[in-house]
Amino acid sequence: MNNTLTEVTLKNFYLKFIYYSIATLLICVLQLSFSFLISVKGIIPDLLILLIIWITLRDGKIVGLISAFCIGLLYDYLSLNIFGVNALTKTIVAYVSGFFYKENEFLNIVKSNKIFVIVFISTLIHNVVYYLLMINLTESNLWNIYFKFVFGSMIYTFVFSLTSFFFRIKKFW
């Protein structure tokens, strides 16, 4: 009996890994290839943040941190960005959202409005750190550009999380 339980757990782990990998690749391709379609004045939502929050709330802090770091490294590599910046900021998102993790409470968190608070706080912290590292310090309008991207991207990502509200009511739950 114990051997069968271990096999089932291992099979579930592999399936989750495959699902999360496919979701990560699809979101990366979407963000890198089609971001110009949903861009508003150069601001695009960061859909990987939503995936990282999902993984962390569903599977726990450790799985979330490891996944976020790997997702960030992959996105840095694919986007030809400064290597490690997304890995750092995505790991911070998993760390922050990990504070809201409770075992076997995933559906309750997602069905409640708590998910929007988690997205809002995690995205704000992500954008503050990310744009602090990535902004060109020689710009004349440093604060205007910084706040435009920090709050603009945060609000845009938050809007995408609001669309999940309608899907979760009608389709998935």
Comparing 155 with 100, the larger pLDDT belongs to 100
Predicted confidence (pLDDT) at residue 73 exceeds the cutoff of 60: yes
Tell me which residue of 67, 130, 132 sits closest to 98, measured CA to CA: 67
Please tell me the predicted confidence (pLDDT) of residue 172: 47
Q: How far apart are CA 3 and CA 121, in angstroms?
A: 42
Q: What is the pLDDT of residues 106-164, one digit of tens each?
A: 777 777 778 888 888 998 899 888 888 877 656 667 677 777 777 777 887 877 777 76
Q: How far apart are CA 45 and CA 161, in angstroms?
A: 10
Tell me which residue of 94, 96, 115 sits closest to 167, measured CA to CA: 115
Q: DSSP string of 16-75? A: HHHHHHHHHHHHHHHHHHSHHHH-BTTB---HHHHHHHHHHHHH-HHHHHHHHHHHHHHH
Structural domain total, the chain: 1
Residue-number span of the structural domain to which 158 is assigned: 2-33+42-172
Comparing 1 with 116, the larger pLDDT belongs to 116
With cut-offs at 50, 70 and 90, classify the pLDDT of residue 68: very high
Please tell me the predicted confidence (pLDDT) of residue 3: 60
With cut-offs at 50, 70 and 90, classify the pLDDT of residue 173: very low
CA distances 9 to 46, 68, 157, Å, are 31, 22, 33
Q: What is the pLDDT of residues 17-59, one digit of tens each?
A: 899 899 999 989 988 888 778 777 778 888 899 899 999 998 8
